Structure 1
Amino acid sequence: MERFGRSIWGVLLLGLLLLGQATGHAQPPAAPVVSRCVLDGMVDSGSSAYLVDCVRRAQEAGHQALLVRLDTPGGELESTRAIVRAFLGAHLPVLVWVGPSGARAGSAGVFITLASHLAAMAPGTNIGAAHPVSGLTGQDPEESGGKEMARKIENDAVAFIEAIARQRGRNAEWAINAVRQSESVPAEKALALHVIEHVAPTQEAFLEWANGRTVTVADTPVTLRTANAQVVELAPSVSQRALHMLAQPAVVYLLFLLAGLCLAVELTHPGLFAPGILGGVCLVLALLASSALPVHAGAIVLLLLGVALLVAELFVTSGLLGAAGTVLLVLGGVFLVDRFDPGWFLDHPLRISLGTVLPTALFVAGAAVFLAFRAAEARRRPQLAGDVGLVGEVGQVLGAVSPSGGEVFVHGERWAAVSSTPIPLGARVVVRRVEGLTLFVDEVKP
Structure 2
Amino acid sequence: MEDQPIARRRADIPRSITRWLVLLALACGLAVAAGAAAPQRTGLLLAVDGAIGPATADHVTRGLAAAAKRGSTVVVMRLDTPGGLDTSMREIIRAVLASPIPVLTYVSPGGARAASAGTYMMYASHVAAMAPGTNLGAATPVAIGGGRLPMPDEGDMARDRKGDDKGKTGATHDPMETKVINDAVAYIRALADLRGRNADWAERAVREGASLTARDALAQQVIDIIARDVDDLLTQADGRVVEVRTAKVTLDTRGLTLERFDADWRTRFLAAITNPNVALILMMIGIYGLIFEFMHPGALYPGTIGAICLLLGLYALAALPVNIAGLALIVLGVALMVAEAFVPSLGAIGIGGAVAFVLGAAILIDTDLPEFAIAWPVIGGIAASGLAFALLVGRVAVGAWRRQVVTGREQMIGGRGDVLQWRDRSGRVQVHGERWKAVSSAALRPGQRVRVTALDGLTLTVEPDGSDSS
Normalising by structure 2, what TM-score? 0.71
Which whole-Å deviations, capped at 9, do the CAs of 1:64-110 have from their partners, x for residues lacking one?
22232333333343432332232233222222233445543221111
1:265/1:248 CA distance change after superposition, 3 Å: same
Contact 2:123/2:191 (<8 A) preserved: yes
Q: CA deviation at 1:327?
A: 1.0
SS in structure 2 opposite 1:316? coil
Instruction: Tell me what 1:370 maps to.
Output: 392
Contact 2:437/2:458 (<8 A) preserved: no
Percentage of matched positions with identical amino acids: 34
The residue identity in structure 2 corresponding to 1:23 is: A
CA distance, structure 2, for counterparts of residue 181 and residue 94 of structure 1: 28
Instruction: Tell me what 1:426 maps to.
Output: none
Contact 2:238/2:251 (<8 A) preserved: no
Contact 2:45/2:258 (<8 A) preserved: no
1:407/1:111 CA distance change after superposition, 3 Å: same
Q: Which moved more, 1:186-195 or 1:434-443?
A: 434-443
SS in structure 2 opposite 1:133? coil
Residues 1:306 and 2:333 are matched in the alignment = yes
1:86 to 79, 95, 102: 95
CA distance, structure 1, for counterparts of residue 200 and residue 269 of structure 2: 38
Q: Which moved more, 1:156-165 or 1:314-323?
A: 156-165
Instruction: Tell me what 2:160 maps to.
Output: none
Which whole-Å deviations, capped at 9, do the CAs of 1:367-421 have from their partners, x for residues lacking one?
32233223322332333444656889999x9xx976787999x7xxx85578977
SS in structure 2 opposite 1:352? coil
The residue identity in structure 1 corresponding to 2:28 is: G
2:350 to 300, 304, 322: 322
Instruction: Tell me what 2:116 maps to.
Output: 107
Q: CA deviation at 1:56?
A: 1.9
Larger Rg: 2
The residue identity in structure 1 corresponding to 2:355 is: V
Q: CA deviation at 1:174?
A: 3.0
Residues 1:118 and 2:147 are matched in the alignment = no
Contact 1:263/1:280 (<8 A) preserved: yes
Instruction: Tell me what 2:361 maps to.
Output: 333
1:357 to 349, 365, 379: 379
Structure 2 unmatched runs, 5+: 1-8, 10-14, 153-169, 439-443
CA distance, structure 1, for counterparts of residue 238 and residue 173 of structure 2: 50
Normalising by structure 1, what TM-score? 0.74
1:180-219 pair list within 5 angstroms: 180-199=207-226, 203=230, 205=231, 209=235, 212-216=238-242, 217=244, 218-219=247-248
1:19/1:167 CA distance change after superposition, 3 Å: farther
1:17/1:261 CA distance change after superposition, 3 Å: closer
Q: Which moved more, 1:154-163 or 1:192-201?
A: 192-201
Instruction: Tell me what 1:140 maps to.
Output: 149
Q: CA deviation at 1:285?
A: 2.8
The residue identity in structure 1 corresponding to 2:402 is: R
Residues 1:379 and 2:401 are matched in the alignment = yes
Residues 1:221 and 2:250 are matched in the alignment = yes
2:69 to 50, 60, 73: 60
CA distance, structure 2, for counterparts of residue 303 and residue 272 of structure 1: 26
Q: Which moved more, 1:109-118 or 1:31-40?
A: 31-40
Instruction: Tell me what 1:341 maps to.
Output: none
Residues 1:297 and 2:320 are matched in the alignment = no
Q: Which moved more, 1:311-320 or 1:142-151?
A: 142-151
SS in structure 1 opposite 2:84? strand
Q: CA deviation at 1:197?
A: 4.3
1:395-414 pair list within 5 angstroms: none
Structure number with the bigger relative contact order (C-alpha 8 A, sep ≥ 6) is: 1
Aligned length: 420
CA distance, structure 1, for counterparts of residue 429 and residue 111 of structure 2: 88
Residues 1:152 and 2:183 are matched in the alignment = no
CA distance, structure 2, for counterparts of residue 213 and residue 358 of structure 1: 58
Contact 2:151/2:208 (<8 A) preserved: no
Q: Which moved more, 1:216-225 or 1:325-334?
A: 216-225
1:172/1:393 CA distance change after superposition, 3 Å: same
Which whole-Å deviations, capped at 9, do the CAs of 1:134-179 have from their partners, x for residues lacking one?
1433131679994443333323322322332343344434323221
